[in-house]
Amino acid sequence: MSFLLITATATFAQDVKLFRIGTGSTAGTYYPIGALIASAISRPPGSAPCDEGGACGVDNLIATAVTSRGSFDNIEGLVSGRFDSALSQADIAAWAYRGDHVFTGKKAYPQLRAIANLYPEHVHLVVRRDLGILSVSDLRGKRVAIDRPGSGTRINTLLIMNAFGIEPTDFEAIELGPEAAITALLEGEVDAAFFVVGYPSVAVTELAETGRFTIAPISGVAANQLILTNRFYTAGAVPLGVYHGVGTIPTLLVGAQWIVQQDADEELIYQITRAFWADSNRELLNSGHVKGRQIRLQTALDGLTVPLHPGARRFYEEVGLIQPPQVTAEPDPDAGPVTGEAAADVSEQGKTVTD
């Protein structure tokens, strides 16, 4: 009996495939979205059939959402083998792929590949109501939580501050992650904090419900210029009613993308992509998080800033979202995100992007 039990356990362990997804802070949106993705693509051994209420993912796959410091950390974790896939802002993925901008002087990561575009992230500038901060320009002389090194939020914050003419010496930069920034705001230790997340953010919700905080707009000439020079950003707004006592707030948006490495097993990534977009997972995405409703197959190729993984490409070809490639060329992330089939296949010069 013991021998049979040991043999069965060994066989079970051999069959199971683990798949780690690098996400972000539990106070942000990456973590709950990563958890949704993990649920959608997992199907542990012994699960009931999908059509009988069981898991509808990849056979014998157990995916998990892993917390991290955000996009920058996720890319480094992906390349080092700490993660099997990861979520990243579109701009951070593009700069890492090319080895430029914030990655200048660091190693480029041309092996990055995309599984899908997911949803737009909104830049939230949360400020104390009693300080009269009405724009980014009013942050001069203030204590501002800019997130930790390794986060996309930190990089976005510094870019935005620079666009508004605010030098590092013009404000006190406080390096705090989302959870610590919430506490610091509540205790009066900082005056403002940036959060780049899909709404509704747990962190921002908690702060807004106190009545002591609001969201300042990021708009005007400086914001428009940033959109022109960094085309990963688009103009958008946090809608009325998302947060208690906060109206419609204009701000900047950047896409959230799901990425892997080029050498990830093609068949596995194909199966994961197919399982993720299965009709059976639509209810899971719709009910799991507000941003889950914006994760749609029709926009899976919008704004991609690194090439598609061959396994993901095979799925999108099967469902008719893209055509088999004809010409090979490298992507030009500096051209900014494009949409639809063009995002997966066509660079600024009209050449096909493929592996």
Cα dihedral 336, 342, 343, 344, rounded to 10, equals: -140
DSSP state of 334: G
- 230 and 127 fall within a common domain: yes
- 248 and 259 fall within a common domain: no
Q: Which domain holds residue 153?
A: 122-254
Predicted confidence (pLDDT) per residue in 231-240, tens digit: 889 999 999 9
Predicted confidence (pLDDT) per residue in 241-276, tens digit: 999 999 999 999 999 999 999 999 999 999 999 999
Q: Is residue 13 a part of any domain in this protein?
A: yes
Predicted confidence (pLDDT) per residue in 52-89, tens digit: 878 889 999 999 999 998 898 999 999 999 999 999 99
Q: Is residue 158 a part of any domain in this protein?
A: yes
- 133 and 248 fall within a common domain: yes
- 85 and 143 fall within a common domain: no
Q: Is residue 350 a part of any domain in this protein?
A: no
Q: What is the pLDDT of residue 56?
A: 87
Q: What is the pLDDT of residue 57?
A: 94
- Taking the C-alpha atoms of residue 120 and residue 72, their distance in angstroms, rounded to an integer, is 18
Q: What is the pLDDT of residue 7?
A: 38
Q: Is residue 107 a part of any domain in this protein?
A: yes
Cα dihedral 207, 146, 241, 71, rounded to 10, equals: -120
Q: Please, what's the b/e burial string for 102-135 (b: 16 or more CB within 10 A of its CB; e: otherwise)? A: bbeeeeebeebbbbbbbbbbbbbbbbbeeeebeb
- Taking the C-alpha atoms of residue 299 and residue 274, their distance in angstroms, rounded to an integer, is 15
| Beta-carbon contacts of residue 349 (< 8 Å; ≥ 6 apart) | 329, 332
Q: Is residue 43 a part of any domain in this protein?
A: yes
Q: Is residue 352 a part of any domain in this protein?
A: no
pTM of the model: 0.80
Q: Give the H or E element holding residue 228.
A: helix 221-229
- 18 and 82 fall within a common domain: yes
Q: How many domains does the chain have?
A: 2
- 189 and 304 fall within a common domain: no
pLDDT at 347 over 50: no
- 18 and 110 fall within a common domain: yes
Q: Is residue 354 a part of any domain in this protein?
A: no
Residue 243 CA from chain centroid, whole number: 21
- 134 and 250 fall within a common domain: yes
